[in-house]
């Protein structure tokens, strides 16, 4: 089966785009609870471990997975607050904003 140059270029560009997207998503590290920004926002990877005395408005139903700033999947994903890093879907920080 003969391929034309045009088909080769389209296939190459598509393959490169898919490979690059996968690498960018895989390269984002998880936010550590010990990072200065995470400490400042009270981020915890497990919403049940949030200090209730320090954050009295927090409740166990609030988590990154149902926050409007969260852009991710079932286990972890990106957050608009922590650019270039992933947060746990079961996590929480004081920037929490419920999805409408």
User: Residue 95 domain-assigned?
Assistant: no
- Residue 41 located in a structural domain: yes
Residue 16 has pLDDT above 80, yes or no: no
Specify if 21 maps to a domain: no
Q: Does the pTM exceed 0.85?
A: no
Residue 66 resides in a domain: yes
CA–CA distance, 35 with 14 (Å, rounded to integer):
37
Q: Establish if 65 belongs to a structural domain.
A: yes
Residue 23: per-residue pLDDT = 46
Domain count for the chain, please give it: 1
Mean pLDDT over all residues of the chain? Answer: 85
Decide if pLDDT at 25 tops 60: no
Which CATH number does the domain housing residue 79 bear?
4.10.490.10
pLDDT tens for each residue of 40-72:
999 999 999 999 999 999 998 999 999 999 998
> Rounded CA gap, 63 and 48, in Å?
9
């Amino acid at each position: 089966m003969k391929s034309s140059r045009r088909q080769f270029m389209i296939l190459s560009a598509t393959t490169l785009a898919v490979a690059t997207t996968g690498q960018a998503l895989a390269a984002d590290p998880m936010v550590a609870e010990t990072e200065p920004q995470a400490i400042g926002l009270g981020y915890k990877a497990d919403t049940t471990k949030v200090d209730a005395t320090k954050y009295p408005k927090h409740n166990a139903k609030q988590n990154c997975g149902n926050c409007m700033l969260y852009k991710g999947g079932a286990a972890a994903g990106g957050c608009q607050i922590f650019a270039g890093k992933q947060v746990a879907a079961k996590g929480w920080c004081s920037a929490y904003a419920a999805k409408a």
